[in-house]
Amino acid sequence: MHTHTLTQLSAALATGQVSSVELTQHYLDRIQQLDPQFNSFITLDAERSLAEARAADARRAAGHAGPLTGIPLAHKDIYVAEGWRSTCGSRMLENFVSPYDATVVARCKDAGMVTLGKLNCDEFAMGSSNENSHFGPVKNPWDTQAVPGGSSGGSAAAVAARLTPIATGTDTGGSIRQPASFCGITGIKPTYGVVSRYGMVAYASSFDQGGPMARSAEDCAHLLNVIAGFDERDSTSLQRPAEDYTRELNQPLAGLRIGLPKEYFGDGLDSEVAATVQAAVEQFRQLGATVKDVSLPRTRMAIPTYYILAPAEASSNLSRFDGVRYGHRAAEYGDLADMYERSRSEGFGAEVKRRILTGTYVLSHGYYDAYYIKAQKVRRLIADDFQRAFADCDVIMGPAAPTAAFDLGSRSNDPLQMYLEDVYTLSPNLAGLPAMSIPAGFNRAGRPIGLQVIGNYFSEARMLGLAHQFQLNSDWHQQQPGSLA
Ligand code: GLN
């Protein structure tokens, strides 16, 4: 069962070949048996999951099932879910049980999907290796010496290890695409504003966007149909007509214009990643697409711009964790200020503190104009670069990350080295564009490599369609880690 795609599982449920309770139990058993070596889940609650599965089966029996009714999924622990411990990978929220559902979680429930559990991630989604979690690092199912990527590392690892058919992730600067690339799965970050941020704990609000992570683009399209759409409780949610994200799955590739930005193939790109990405682009060409060079001249400014703006927003967003309303409170303190200080010192990890410090600095009097305002201007120029490139092409392709998964511990003491990992993923977030990663091959060490596809605003259906056509003609997304065979 765990080798089935979402479409196959949906058919098996519809014909009664399997019940949601059986399916859910099957995945829970797999998680119990296999996850100790990967650490991809933070919280499980089998009783709660099985109750949801029974309700899904009853709904089907009553004739009210939708296509995804009864299908299990797991949520990145950045989304709050009613009755579930919702930690954000932080000691600060170690014991926080949410009284309400994030909109994404609520929509999955409304569709009759079953929550298997909450997935490990970097603390407050800050990181590129999942080593910043208070609950310990996640191990890459392809090689447990390697990181799974971050911050949605638990989501990527759980899907790769077939512990869940599909998962949610969030992407502020690459956190869906880079772990998807490292774990050999498919993930899409939609256009900013397409998926509601309500109940998705804020890291950098003008960048954060939720999206699906699964083995195939087709499966991602089905989940995006469930989670996308206007939400009046998110002030940046976009009011647009409902879309069917599966509608272009069968569109041929003939006529597709692919742009290759030269800045995505320069210094710092691992040679095996470059060769793999080029081979994938060549396959698109053979399937009917045309390929041309484009330029995104401000690519090198993406890292400094993002690492000014995202921490600025984070420093403001994270001020709500004061040990008073919710979250960790120090056991011993003197006066009120001392209580804040001790609670936050104990509750947050090193990377989160680093971001709060940077963010507070760039927003402070005297530096605001020099850093924050300047970075906002560069952000606009980066978005303009994309629009110029899209005059000549329909989608942009390149690597999702400069390397395949690196070894656990190899970069965790060097924040700058870690930030460089985000060089190809940050720009779409700065511009608010949709972007995805699809499995494109492996390096000699057997670690997966992802192809990044960046589209213009609201081109998700087209992107998922071209990815599906690629997946009909390749089997990278079907390979499974040897240790699971
Ligand atoms: N790696 C980036 C960061 O640490 C992006 C994280 C994300 O997309 N949530 O900020």
pLDDT tens across 218-228, in order? 999 999 999 99
Of the residues 175, 216, 237, 427, only one is catalytic, namely 175
Q: Cα-flanking dihedrals φ and ψ of residue 201, to 5°?
A: -60, 130
CA of 46 to the centre of ligand 1 (A): 30
Instruction: Please give the Cα distance from 353 to 318 (Å, whole number).
Output: 10
Q: Is the CB of 310 under 6 A from ligand 1?
A: yes
Is 374 catalytic? The answer is: no
Whether residue 474 has a cis bond before it, omega within 30° of 0 = no
Please say if the pLDDT value at position 247 is more than 80.
Answer: yes
**What is the pLDDT of the chain when averaged over all its residues?**
97
Please say if the pLDDT value at position 340 is more than 90.
Answer: yes
Q: What is the DSSP letter of 420?
A: H
Please say if the pLDDT value at position 92 is more than 70.
Answer: yes
Q: What is the DSSP letter of 272?
A: H
Q: For the residues of 285-344, what is the DSSP string, one character each?
A: HHTT-EEEEE--TTGGGHHHHHHHHHHHHHHHHGGG-SSSSSS---SS-SSHHHHHHHHH
* Alpha helix (H) residue ranges in 120-251: 153-160, 177-183, 217-227
Is 364 catalytic? The answer is: no
Nearest ligand 1 atom to alpha carbon 306: 10
Nearest ligand 1 atom to alpha carbon 171: 8
Of the residues 10, 76, 86, 237, only one is catalytic, namely 76
CA of 66 to the centre of ligand 1 (A): 34
Residue nearest to atom 10 of ligand 1 (CA): 126
Residue nearest to atom 5 of ligand 1 (CA): 173
CA of 233 to the centre of ligand 1 (A): 24
CA of 422 to the centre of ligand 1 (A): 8
Number of H helices, E strands in the chain: 15, 11
Please say if the pLDDT value at position 485 is more than 70.
Answer: no
Please say if the pLDDT value at position 359 is more than 80.
Answer: yes
Query: How sure is the predictor about 483, in pLDDT bands with cuts at 50, 70 and 90?
Result: confident
Give the pTM: 0.98
Q: Is the CB of 179 under 6 A from ligand 1?
A: no
| Most informative mutation of 419, 422, 425, 452 for ligand 1 (most atoms within 8 A of CB) | 422
| Most informative mutation of 131, 155, 175 for ligand 1 (most atoms within 8 A of CB) | 175
Nearest ligand 1 atom to alpha carbon 170: 9
Nearest ligand 1 atom to alpha carbon 422: 1
Q: What residues contact residue 25 under an 8 Å CB cut-off, 6+ apart?
A: 50, 53
Other beta carbons less than 10 A from residue 268's beta carbon? 9
| Per-residue pLDDT tens digits for 293-320 | 999 999 999 999 999 999 999 999 999 9
Is 175 catalytic? The answer is: yes
CA of 307 to the centre of ligand 1 (A): 9
Average pLDDT over residues 379-394: 98
Q: How many residues does the chain have?
A: 485
| Most informative mutation of 76, 77, 122 for ligand 1 (most atoms within 8 A of CB) | 122
Which segments within 144-296 are labelled E, that is strand?
166-171, 186-189, 209-214, 257-261, 290-294
Q: Is the CB of 45 under 6 A from ligand 1?
A: no
CA of 173 to the centre of ligand 1 (A): 5
Average pLDDT over residues 100-125: 98
Other beta carbons less than 10 A from residue 176's beta carbon? 36
Taking every pair of C-alpha atoms in the chain, what is the biggest distance, in angstroms?
70
Determine what percent of the chain is predicted with pLDDT higher than 70. Answer: 100
| Most informative mutation of 78, 151, 306 for ligand 1 (most atoms within 8 A of CB) | 151
